[in-house]
Each structure stands twice: as C-alpha cells, then as structure tokens.
C-alpha cells in the first residue's frame, strides 16, 4: 500500500474556496460594524455638543437678552464638524464665525448627514436660559418634533 505524503488538488481547491467565502462574508460584516460605530460616534458627539452649547449659553458671557440666541450649534458638512459658536450682540448669521467666537469643534465621520425629517440640520441656537430657540431670518431649527436621523450607508 502506497502512503500519501500531501494533499490532493481537489482538497486544496475546496479549502481555498471555503477560506475565500469566509473572507468575503467577514468583510461585508466589518463594513457594517464600522458604519454603525461611526453613526453611534456622530450621535454621541452631537449630544455632547448640544449639552455643552446649553451649558455655555447659561453662562451667557456676552450678556445676551433672553429673547436672543447666546450660543449656536452648527453642523458644517463641508468640514465634517459640529461647531459651538458664542454669538455676538445682534449676530446676523448664527453659524458665521466672523463677529462671533468659535468655542469648540467636534469631528464626525465623512459621509454622515444629520437630518430632521428630510431636511439637513444646519444649526441650533440656544438662548441664555438654555432653551432652543428660532432666531428670525435664519435656517436654524428650534424643536425636535420630527424624527432625528443620522444616516450613513442606510445605517441610522
């Protein structure tokens, strides 16, 4: 009887096919996990930024009246950042850094869009009482009555 010293070609091909199938499956699962973690990170950064914006608005360093926004939270989709901006007196644009002071920035992953309903969220403003408000003539939102979504590759 002849003793076999190696693997047959069929055994090697079957092994390569099984390993390739496992690699393809794990790669698609890994992408999904990465997307979910990026969405969770963006959501956590947004919530942290909103809490910090409310805290800074309550401090009211510029002595803004309660009827005016003291701090704005702006989503910059071009730079993938969430900016907290302390507003100057009679600030025309709550997301413009000129005439206002950039207090802090939070990064979000590239390709994540923060939306309310079907509209992108550009900015939120907070008055010196720590309440969300809607300044006239701006694109800011003042409530969250609609669903708040952060989307990337159908993850939300």
13-30 per-position pLDDT tens digit:
999 999 999 988 888 778
SS3 track for the chain: CCCCCCCCHHHHHHHHHHHHHHHHHHHHHHHHHHHHHHHHHHHHHHHHHHHHHHHHHHHCCCCCCCCCEEEEEEEECCCCEEEEEECCCCCCCCCCCCCCEEEEEEECCCCCEEEECCEECCEEEEECCCCEECCCCCCCECCCCCCEEEEECCEC
Contact 76, 83 (CB under 8 A): yes
Read off the pLDDT of residues 39-90 as tens digits, 9 standing for 90 and up.
888 889 988 999 999 999 999 888 888 888 899 998 888 888 999 999 888 7
Q: Answer yes or no: is pLDDT of 147 > 50.
A: no
pTM above 0.85, yes or no: no
pLDDT at 13: 93
**Using 50, 70 and 90 to split pLDDT, how confident is the model at 146?**
very low
pLDDT in tens, 85-121: 998 887 778 888 887 888 999 998 888 888 777 778 7
């Amino acid at each position: 009887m002849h003793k076999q010293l190696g693997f047959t070609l069929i055994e090697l091909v079957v092994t390569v096919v099984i390993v390739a199938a496992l690699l393809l499956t794990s790669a698609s699962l890994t992408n999904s996990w990465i997307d979910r973690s990026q969405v969770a990170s963006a959501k956590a950064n947004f919530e942290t930024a909103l809490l910090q914006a409310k805290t800074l608005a309550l401090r009211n360093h510029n002595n803004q009246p309660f009827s005016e926004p003291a701090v704005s939270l702006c989503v910059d989709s071009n730079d993938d950042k969430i900016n907290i901006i302390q507003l100057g007196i009679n600030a025309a644009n709550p997301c413009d850094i000129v005439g206002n002071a950039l207090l802090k920035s939070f990064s979000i992953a590239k390709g994540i869009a923060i939306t309310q309903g079907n509209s992108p969220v550009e900015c939120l403003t907070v008055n010196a009482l720590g309440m969300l408000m809607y300044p006239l003539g701006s694109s800011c939102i003042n409530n969250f009555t609609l669903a708040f979504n952060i989307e990337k590759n159908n993850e939300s």
